[in-house]
């Protein structure tokens, strides 16, 4: 488990008339959002996203929620509802559908289009139910109403869930930009109306709960982008999320105004922008786009590239450009714009990319030195506005790290929610709503499931620890031939080393000590290979630590002859 709860036992059976809420991801972390609701034996899931690995998880591609809690009950799932199309909310859907392909997927037009394209790459044809704000649909016992919310991707939704146990409001990711680029406002009137009916539990986005005030409008960025275009004399490369259609639209508008051509770089960027254009969410003048292969034919002052890689992802187009490992080579005088905020944990990767780009002569514009991005999440002032408007009986902060959820809980208490009705949970903690009161009643496993290439769940925490040791300290292998009957060594041990920074000749000092201890073991009748490996591991490990203050992985190989 990634977040053990030794003080909490397994939850009791769900009582009659009670609603159970279990987050399998998204609480205590930014990503992996997935929440399971249960009433009368039936399940509803909201979101099913991925978490991106950090440096201490080498070799891992993605981190999924742990489906064990519902694996034996997938036939009880009425629907999987998606609040919006970001990877941390839809990225794990293909892995869940491998276990039950016919789970109905419920979402807005753009969300389902992005998800269907993703599922097509996994050769999965889903069952989808398209919904829009203002609509109301029932899935089994769960009566859902969908409300528009403003976010950094179009077509995001909040969801009111009505059940016999009470009404819940799940905001999804949202902010309250009063001048959104697409004119689609957060439905505050709908929030107030549902609040007037009575909201028993509010699950609300916590990401920016520490940030005071109200969000900056997306429109304020347009002037900054235009200024960047005015000053740039050569190529402009803009890196942003492949789903940030609003930001791409601003770049396209600026390129058109300054007489430049635009090329999309990166498979996910090309795919998503084609979908957005086909559905009418992205407006592209007919002669503006060119294929990336045509860039060489353009004057450098006429070209704009929109790329992935704003988070310093190792295989992204921008990172490869910074490493001179891409067909597009950064040249002196290029301007690179990082049009996104930093996901926690990515700071070092992004700084490496900025340094790499700067090394080749690029001017790098980022959130630290220009207003080239505003967050898609509501800061404290907007969260308090929602709390005062909805007046929930209970509050469960979601989508945030511990500090964000704590700050959100504080805001809830300031607006009058009683302290014992503000529930701070984390992944795996079970919250029951009964008679309009939310209580923690237990915990279930909700650990990390690692995706490594085609492998899902095979990489464990001990395996990651081994990878970290190998990456930081290297390894030493010791090959010893022993007589299978007597346990005596046959010949001198062979020692090989990689990455430990120790000259192989230095092991001449430890080999006699190793032989001596093996001879004593043979004299004592110890000939079990496992015991001999342990003896070698301890002997060599102790010597390396005392001599070099290092702890490489020691790999003993006992060959019985």
CB of 541 within 8 A of CB of 462?
A: no
What averages of pLDDT result for each successive group of 10 residues across the chain (561 residues)? 63 95 95 96 97 73 91 97 96 95 97 95 94 98 98 96 98 95 94 98 97 92 91 92 91 94 90 94 90 83 88 78 86 90 71 90 86 89 98 97 96 97 96 96 91 73 72 79 71 78 76 78 75 82 81 81 71
Q: What is the pLDDT of residue 420?
A: 95
Q: In whole angstroms, give the CA distance from residue 83 to residue 108.
A: 8
Q: What value does the CA radius of gyration of the chain take, rounded to a whole number of Å? A: 28
The DSSP code for 461 is H
Q: In whole angstroms, give the CA distance from residue 337 to residue 370.
A: 10
Q: What phi and psi values does residue 6 have, to the nearest 5 degrees?
A: -65, -25
The pair of structure tokens assigned to 506 is 């230095």
Q: What phi and psi values does residue 326 have, to the nearest 5 degrees?
A: -140, 155
Q: Which residues of 304-320 are buried (b: 16+ CB within 10 A; e: fewer)?
A: bbbbbbbbbbeebbbbb
> Can you tell me whether residue 269 is helix, strand or coil?
helix
Q: In whole angstroms, give the CA distance from residue 409 to residue 413.
A: 6
Taking the alpha carbons of 399, 400, 401, 407 in that order, is the dihedral positive or negative? negative
Q: What is the pLDDT of residue 37?
A: 98
Q: Which residue from 482, 295, 485 is spatially nearest to 494, judged by alpha carbons?
A: 482
State the DSSP string of 220-239. HHHHHHHHHHHH--S-EEEE
The pair of structure tokens assigned to 437 is 């009161």
CB of 237 within 8 A of CB of 203?
A: no
Spell out the domains of the chain, with CATH numbers in brackets.
19-213+375-449 (3.60.15.10), 219-365 (3.40.50.10710), 461-560 (3.10.20.580)
Q: What is the pLDDT of residue 486?
A: 64
Q: In whole angstroms, give the CA distance from residue 243 to residue 249.
A: 11
Q: In whole angstroms, give the CA distance from residue 377 to residue 280.
A: 24
The pair of structure tokens assigned to 332 is 């002196």
Q: Tell me how far CA of residue 225 lies from CA of 309, 319, 338, 365, in angstroms.
A: 18, 22, 11, 10
Q: What is the pLDDT of residue 1?
A: 35
Q: Tell me how far CA of residue 239 lies from CA of 155, 181, 251, 290, 334, in angstroms.
A: 22, 19, 11, 17, 13
Q: What phi and psi values does residue 242 have, to the nearest 5 degrees?
A: -70, -5
Q: What is the pLDDT of residue 381?
A: 97
Q: In whole angstroms, give the CA distance from residue 410 to residue 384.
A: 10
Q: In whole angstroms, give the CA distance from residue 459 to residue 456.
A: 7
Q: What is the pLDDT of residue 65?
A: 95
Longest CA–CA separation in the chain, Å: 87
CB of 183 within 8 A of CB of 161?
A: no
Q: What is the pLDDT of residue 323?
A: 86
Residue 84: CB atoms within 10 A of its CB come to: 27
Q: What is the pLDDT of residue 139?
A: 98
> Can you tell me whether residue 155 is helix, strand or coil?
coil
- Supply the angle between the helices 380-390 and 402-414 in degrees, to the nearest 10: 50
CB of 28 within 8 A of CB of 176?
A: no
Side-chain-facing half-sphere of 408: CA atoms under 13 Å: 33
What's the pLDDT tens digit per position in 45-84? Answer: 999 999 887 667 767 778 899 999 999 999 999 999 999 9
């Amino acid at each position: 488990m990634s977040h053990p709860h030794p003080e909490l036992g397994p939850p009791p059976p769900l009582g009659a008339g009670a609603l159970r809420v279990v987050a399998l991801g998204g609480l205590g972390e930014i990503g992996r959002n997935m929440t399971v609701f249960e009433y009368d034996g039936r399940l509803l899931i909201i979101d099913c996203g991925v978490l991106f690995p950090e440096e201490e998880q080498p070799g891992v591609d993605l981190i999924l929620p742990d489906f064990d809690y519902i694996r034996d009950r997938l036939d009880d799932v009425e629907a999987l509802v998606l609040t919006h199309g970001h990877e941390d909310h839809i990225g794990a859907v293909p892995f869940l559908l491998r276990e039950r392909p016919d789970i109905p997927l419920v979402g807005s037009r753009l969300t389902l289009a992005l998800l269907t394209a993703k599922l097509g790459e996994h050769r999965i044809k889903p069952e989808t139910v398209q919904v829009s704000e203002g609509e109301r649909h029932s899935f089994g016992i769960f009566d859902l109403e969908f409300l528009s919310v403003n976010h950094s991707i179009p077509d995001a939704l909040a969801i009111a869930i009505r059940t016999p146990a009470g009404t819940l409001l799940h905001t999804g990711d949202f902010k309250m930009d009063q001048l959104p680029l697409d004119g689609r406002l957060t439905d505050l009137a709908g929030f107030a109306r549902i609040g007037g009916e009575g909201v028993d539990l509010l699950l609300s986005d916590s990401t920016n709960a520490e940030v005071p005030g109200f969000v900056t409008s997306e429109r304020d960025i347009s002037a900054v982008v235009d200024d960047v275009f005015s000053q740039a004399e050569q190529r402009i490369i803009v890196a942003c999320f492949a789903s940030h259609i609003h930001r791409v639209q601003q770049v396209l508008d600026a390129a058109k105004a300054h007489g430049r051509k635009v090329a999309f770089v990166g498979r996910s960027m090309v795919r998503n922008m084609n979908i957005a254009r086909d559905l009418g969410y992205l407006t592209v003048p007919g002669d503006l786009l060119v294929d990336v292969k045509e860039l060489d034919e353009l004057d450098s002052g006429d070209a704009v590239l929109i790329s992935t890689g704003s988070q310093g992802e190792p295989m992204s187009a921008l990172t490869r450009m910074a490493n001179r490992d891409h067909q597009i080579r950064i040249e002196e005088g290029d301007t690179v714009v990082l049009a996104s905020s930093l996901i926690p944990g990515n700071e070092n990767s992004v700084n490496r990319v900025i340094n790499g780009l700067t090394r080749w002569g690029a001017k790098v514009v980022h959130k630290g030195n220009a207003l080239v991005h505003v967050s898609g999440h509501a800061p404290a002032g907007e969260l308090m506005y929602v709390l005062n408007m909805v007046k929930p009986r209970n509050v469960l902060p979601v989508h945030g790290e511990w500090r964000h959820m704590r700050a959100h809980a504080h805001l809830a208490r300031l607006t009058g929610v009683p302290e014992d009705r503000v529930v701070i949970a984390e992944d795996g903690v079970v919250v029951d709503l009964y008679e309009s009161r939310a209580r923690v009643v237990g915990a279930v496993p909700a650990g990390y499931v690692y995706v490594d290439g085609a492998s899902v769940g095979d990489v464990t925490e001990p395996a990651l620890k081994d990878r970290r040791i190998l990456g930081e300290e290297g390894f030493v292998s010791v090959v010893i031939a022993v007589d299978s009957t007597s346990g005596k060594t046959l010949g001198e041990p062979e020692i090989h080393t990689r990455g430990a920074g120790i000259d192989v000749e230095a092991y001449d000092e430890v080999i006699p000590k190793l032989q001596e201890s093996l001879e004593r073991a043979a004299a004592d009748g110890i000939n079990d290979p496992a015991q001999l490996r342990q003896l070698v591991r301890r002997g060599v490990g102790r010597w390396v630590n005392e001599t070099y203050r290092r702890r490489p992985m020691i790999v003993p190989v006992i060959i019985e002859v």
